[in-house]
Structure 1
Amino acid sequence: METVYTLYRVSTKQQVDKTKDDIPMQREACHEFAEKMGWTIGKEFLEKGVSGFKVSANNRDAIQDLKAAALNKEFDILLVFMFDRIGRIDDETPFIVEWFVKQGIRVWSVQEGEQRFESHVDKLMNYIRFWQASGESEKTSMRIKTRMQQLKAEGSYTGGPVPFGYTLVNTGRLNKKGREVHDLAVDPIEADWVREIFSKTVNEGYGTFRCAEILNKAGMKTHKGSKFTSNSINRILRNKLLTGFVVSGDTESPRMKDLQIIDDYTFERAQRILDQRMVKNEKTREIARKTKTKQLLSGIMVCGHCGGHLSTIKHTDRHTRKDGTEYVKIQPKYICYHKSRGLCQCSGSTTYLVTRIDDAICELIHEMFESIKESPDEAVLKKNFDKEMAGYRAKITKLEHELGKHRQQLEKLESEVADSLMGNSQFSPDVLSKVIKSTEEKISETEAAIETLNNEMTGKKKSMESLKPMYDVFVGWAKEFDEASIERKKMIISQLVTKIEVFKGYKLNVELNMDYQEFCSNWDILSMKSTINA
């Protein structure tokens, strides 16, 4: 009597019978078929939640165990409910079936009969069957992906972890399977903590570790019931949902006002701070990685000679006076780490007095605040903005017209290729090839120019939208600067100044952030003062 091994497979865990932990429909059909054929079923192999389209046979234990058993001549027939239970990969599964047949194993399907390889037609039908199965899987995957994107675009909750700051509410609706549908909603308590995290990050320069400490000390937990870590805080700060946009891959919903917790300007400032902290090159990093230090410019200022960041030390000046008494004075100093450790040939000084440099920078900041203009006239700004956008659109329209001409020319040239090769064209193949290449280059250049203009337009739109919030923040800094904590002052300076270099003899080179130029009446004078002596 022939021995039969069976294989049952479903693609998702939801298709498994929860009460029996089984795949009963396929099992019962195979048992009935085997009994009808007079076969004895030996072993049964189950794959619960294994995709035959996404998972290669090399990574499926059941297939590998069946192949090993086939080599050991343990069974005569491999029985499945349908051949696509073996797999749905068009360039792999047909050859898996053929491999079993070559080992002397007959491969049967309850629904489709035996797969033979006695002729070219058999082989072709075998390939076509799995090619169709693969195509169906692709279509199913595409339908699911498209629908998920549509739901995301509509702002619907499609499953997965609920982000901190939100909760799920029962809508009273049921899906096609009769299950309750939930929507995301802002959790008021968690939302307050989210705002606190952003405030500490943007206004005081707190790192993700310190923010996690704040939440943990307050007894807050993640939605998994665990303590907050640096990574979990980073995920909160990076989550665009907090601005009201539901994002999935390249799909972004319209703004959902009822889901917005953080305003756009604060969110963008947080992203810039996080991005800057990831910059390893000290010469290009503009934001201090840490603001916990007590000195104003530590982590912001660099040595103008070697480019290394300056840290701080408590320096003790000690010497004996003529009368024999000892003079001792402890004062903080900025120190060039590279020179103090002999890491490079730095020609600058090793240390600089903190008070001397801090006072010079604060004086420059005060001058900037004293020259604040009145609030920008939004009507005038919009008029200028609309005029600028019209200019961009005119340039793009002109380029698109040129692009159309180039594409038409390329189409005509490509239609000449066959005639040129036959000697029936006014162009030789070499000349035609050069002209086609030149036209393709013109198309690429024009497309690049259009993309550049579109990107500039997008950037201008964002700048326009953030102008008033930036101004209000700038005025707020001016009012609070003198009374602010060291951490707050450090973050304000790191926003207003892109770089501070100190040279031997207390010469300072300060690069001001051009984003705030529009708000100061004496910006040109301040820029001229950017090289100062402390």
Structure 2
Amino acid sequence: MKRVYTLYRVSTKKQVNISENHDNDIPMQRGACKEFVKYRQDWEIVKEYEEKGVSGFKVSAKNRDAIIDLQEAALNKEFDVLLVFMFDRIGRIDDETPFIVEWFVKTAGVEVWSVKEGEQRFETHVDKLTNYIRFWQASGESEKTSIRIKTRIQQLKLDGLYTGGALPYGYRIVPSGMKNRKGQELKKYEIDLEQYVVYRKIVEKTINNGTGSYVMAHFLNDQGYKTANGKKFTSKSILRILSASLPRGCTSEGETSEALQRLRIISDEEAVRIDEILKQRAQVDEEKRQLAIRTKGEAMLSGNIFCQHCGGRITTTHHKDHYFRKDGSEYLKDVLKYRCYHKANKLCECDGQTNYIAAKVDETVSQIMRQVFEGMDGAPEEEKYKEILKKQQAAHTASRRKTVFELDKDKKQLEVLQREIGKTLLGESLYSPEDLKEAINVVKIRIADSEERLEKLDSDMNQKKEMVEAILPAYRRFKSWAEEFDTADLEQKKMIACQLFDRIELGKDYNIIMHMNVTYQQFCSEWKSKNSSQVTA
């Protein structure tokens, strides 16, 4: 009797236990192989191998336990025939599977049979070619299937339909009223109102207060909120929520549609601001940081304050004094101070102070910020600001139109002069060769100048467009700060100070130099010329 080993494989786990005779499921493959063996009196199935949810196209044979076990058994002469429903159950990789089949036959001496395709022999060159072509076609079909599935899934995503996986925070899934080809109802995303409220809290505290992910997670947990799967919030879950694509109205690949736009929770402006904050939170080079390192604590300045004398970073510390007087009364004093880290730890020669009273520094900085914001009374409304930028763009457009007109005119003149070259050679032109050459050179210089000018105008116009996109969101934030600064809490004031000023330098006798962020400096210079990029207190 010939000892037969069978191999059944399905690419998805859904195909493991489906009803009899279903195309390509394991029960169907097993039934077909047993029926095939029944008509061969000298064959007997002694062992069956199953691979559940294993792709024969994506997973190499060296990573498939069933193939490894079969090869080992073949070398030990444990079976005589390897039987599969179809040869592509062995695999679908065109530069690997044909050689595995050939190895079983020629090296291990095992017959390889398929219920549908018969025995694979290697007696002639045609046999080898047939073997290779079979798996080359199988590989091609897998690639086409993969492309079709990816395209279909992407289209479902653009339609706002659920395609599986973890559910993004802020949403729930509901019946869509649509069915797939198998008659199964598709589900769609819908904004969960309770989670939406929490999502907006996360966004607003991140943007307005600069609240970090750890602090945010503790805040939400203390309020009794839970994640979509009913667990406590963590720093990682907050970061996932803030960077998710669906609340921004797009797929993870950046594509969007009307359906996805209806599902958005945050605006483009908020998304850009969140990305800036997350980037700065992860900023390795602390010298470039414009965001408070910590939003906890009592000091207002953090992240962009430095010693005016040595350039070292300024940190915070508590000076505590506690003792009991002779009369038995208790004396307790706790003063928050800014400290030059380099001088305090003797890391360099610094002729500045070691400590500064934080309350005094914070109040001075707050007064300067109030002076800056007072200038907002003369600031133009947003529409007027847009109009100013629009007029600047219109001036660029007019200059460009004039340059293009002159350029076209010179090019036509050059064509006329170049046509004169032939006439000059024949002595039929009114121009001498020398005059014609000089005239052509003059026109070419004018054309080169116009093209250079046109390129510069286009570059300037692009910069203006980018300015509109970049400045207006910052302008709105600036006006909002001016209106809310006095009533803002400490976290908000920290956030404002770190964004308004690129660098704050603290020196002896509480001399403070504040370098304003160039974007906000532009706003000030538009309506209040006395403001400058450096304010000294």
* Pairwise TM-score range, normalised by the shorter structure: 0.7 to 0.9
Per the alignment, in what secondary structure is the counterpart of residue 219 of structure 1?
coil
Query: Is the 1:502–1:508 contact (alpha carbons within 8 Å) kept by the matching residues of 2?
Result: yes
- Residue 156 of structure 1 and its aligned partner are, at CA, apart by 3.3
The equivalent of 2:6 in structure 1 is 6
Alpha-carbon distance between aligned partners in 2 of 1:393 and 1:208, rounded to the nearest angstrom: 51
Q: Identify the match of residue 130 of structure 1 among 129, 135, 143.
A: 135
Whether 2:44 is the aligned partner of 1:36: answer no
Alpha-carbon distance between aligned partners in 2 of 1:253 and 1:226, rounded to the nearest angstrom: 32
Query: Is the 1:152–1:252 contact (alpha carbons within 8 Å) kept by the matching residues of 2?
Result: no
The equivalent of 1:90 in structure 2 is 94
Per the alignment, in what secondary structure is the counterpart of residue 88 of structure 2?
helix
- Residue 10 of structure 1 and its aligned partner are, at CA, apart by 0.6
Q: Render the CA deviation track for 1:6-65: whole Å, top value 9, x for unaligned.
A: 000010111121589971111111111112223100100000110000011111111111
Query: Is the 2:314–2:338 contact (alpha carbons within 8 Å) kept by the matching residues of 1?
Result: yes
Q: Identify the match of residue 381 of structure 2 among 349, 366, 375.
A: 375
Q: Identify the match of residue 233 of structure 1 among 229, 238, 251.
A: 238
- Any residues of structure 2 matched to 1:380-459 within 5 Å, and which? 380-385=388-393, 457=462
Per the alignment, in what secondary structure is the counterpart of residue 39 of structure 2?
helix
Query: Is the 1:170–1:180 contact (alpha carbons within 8 Å) kept by the matching residues of 2?
Result: yes
Per the alignment, in what secondary structure is the counterpart of residue 248 of structure 1?
coil
Alpha-carbon distance between aligned partners in 2 of 1:391 and 1:145, rounded to the nearest angstrom: 48
Q: Identify the match of residue 491 of structure 1 among 495, 503, 509.
A: 495
Alpha-carbon distance between aligned partners in 1 of 2:14 and 2:209, rounded to the nearest angstrom: 48
Alpha-carbon distance between aligned partners in 1 of 2:484 and 2:531, rounded to the nearest angstrom: 21
Say if 1:90 and 1:339 are closer, same or farther in 2 by CA, change over 3 A.
farther
Per the alignment, in what secondary structure is the counterpart of residue 269 of structure 1?
helix
Which amino acid counterpart does residue 370 of structure 1 have in structure 2? E
Q: Identify the match of residue 147 of structure 1 among 152, 160, 176.
A: 152
- Any residues of structure 2 matched to 1:48-447 within 5 Å, and which? 48-101=52-105, 102-243=107-248, 245-254=249-258, 256-304=260-308, 307-315=311-319, 330-343=334-347, 348-372=352-376, 373-376=379-382, 377=384, 378-385=386-393
Which amino acid counterpart does residue 82 of structure 1 have in structure 2? M
The equivalent of 1:16 in structure 2 is 16
Q: Render the CA deviation track for 1:139-164: whole Å, top value 9, x for unaligned.
A: 11111112222233344332222211
Q: TM-score, normalised by structure 1?
A: 0.79
Query: Is the 2:396–2:461 contact (alpha carbons within 8 Å) kept by the matching residues of 1?
Result: no
Instruction: Please say which of residues 290-299 and 167-176 is displaced more in the overlay.
Output: 167-176
Say if 1:98 and 1:379 are closer, same or farther in 2 by CA, change over 3 A.
same
Say if 1:385 and 1:255 are closer, same or farther in 2 by CA, change over 3 A.
farther
- Residue 350 of structure 1 and its aligned partner are, at CA, apart by 2.6
Gaps of at least 5 residues in structure 1 are 319-326, 396-449
Query: Is the 1:152–1:248 contact (alpha carbons within 8 Å) kept by the matching residues of 2?
Result: no
Query: Is the 1:282–1:308 contact (alpha carbons within 8 Å) kept by the matching residues of 2?
Result: no
Say if 1:29 and 1:351 are closer, same or farther in 2 by CA, change over 3 A.
same
Alpha-carbon distance between aligned partners in 2 of 1:454 and 1:16, rounded to the nearest angstrom: 61
Say if 1:330 and 1:164 are closer, same or farther in 2 by CA, change over 3 A.
closer
- Residue 494 of structure 1 and its aligned partner are, at CA, apart by 1.5
Which amino acid counterpart does residue 5 of structure 1 have in structure 2? Y
Per the alignment, in what secondary structure is the counterpart of residue 333 of structure 1?
strand
Q: Computing the radius of gyration over CA atoms, which structure comes out larger, 1 or 2? A: 2
Q: TM-score, normalised by structure 2?
A: 0.79
Query: Is the 2:337–2:357 contact (alpha carbons within 8 Å) kept by the matching residues of 1?
Result: yes
Query: Is the 1:149–1:248 contact (alpha carbons within 8 Å) kept by the matching residues of 2?
Result: no
The equivalent of 1:26 in structure 2 is 29
The equivalent of 1:412 in structure 2 is none
The equivalent of 1:515 in structure 2 is 519
Alpha-carbon distance between aligned partners in 2 of 1:144 and 1:479, rounded to the nearest angstrom: 52
Say if 1:250 and 1:256 are closer, same or farther in 2 by CA, change over 3 A.
closer
Say if 1:497 and 1:46 are closer, same or farther in 2 by CA, change over 3 A.
same
Alpha-carbon distance between aligned partners in 2 of 1:391 and 1:107, rounded to the nearest angstrom: 78
- Residue 183 of structure 1 and its aligned partner are, at CA, apart by 1.5
Query: Is the 1:276–1:285 contact (alpha carbons within 8 Å) kept by the matching residues of 2?
Result: yes
Instruction: Please say which of residues 186-195 and 153-162 is displaced more in the overlay.
Output: 153-162
- Residue 335 of structure 1 and its aligned partner are, at CA, apart by 1.2
Per the alignment, in what secondary structure is the counterpart of residue 259 of structure 1?
coil
Query: Is the 1:282–1:307 contact (alpha carbons within 8 Å) kept by the matching residues of 2?
Result: no
The equivalent of 1:471 in structure 2 is 475
Q: Render the CA deviation track for 1:57-92: whole Å, top value 9, x for unaligned.
A: 111111111111111110011111111100011111
Query: Is the 1:107–1:115 contact (alpha carbons within 8 Å) kept by the matching residues of 2?
Result: yes
Which amino acid counterpart does residue 234 of structure 2 have in structure 1? T
Alpha-carbon distance between aligned partners in 1 of 2:81 and 2:213, rounded to the nearest angstrom: 60
Say if 1:46 and 1:316 are closer, same or farther in 2 by CA, change over 3 A.
closer
- Residue 515 of structure 1 and its aligned partner are, at CA, apart by 2.3
Say if 1:516 and 1:391 are closer, same or farther in 2 by CA, change over 3 A.
farther
Alpha-carbon distance between aligned partners in 2 of 1:131 and 1:386, rounded to the nearest angstrom: 60
Query: Is the 1:83–1:109 contact (alpha carbons within 8 Å) kept by the matching residues of 2?
Result: yes
Per the alignment, in what secondary structure is the counterpart of residue 485 of structure 2?
helix
Say if 1:389 and 1:224 are closer, same or farther in 2 by CA, change over 3 A.
farther
Per the alignment, in what secondary structure is the counterpart of residue 526 of structure 1?
coil
Q: Render the CA deviation track for 1:267-288: whole Å, top value 9, x for unaligned.
A: 2222211110101222122111
Query: Is the 1:174–1:180 contact (alpha carbons within 8 Å) kept by the matching residues of 2?
Result: yes
Alpha-carbon distance between aligned partners in 2 of 1:480 and 1:11, rounded to the nearest angstrom: 59
Alpha-carbon distance between aligned partners in 1 of 2:398 and 2:13, rounded to the nearest angstrom: 56
Say if 1:456 and 1:2 are closer, same or farther in 2 by CA, change over 3 A.
farther
What root-mean-square deviation, in Å, do the aligned CA atoms of Structure 1 and Structure 2 show?
3.2
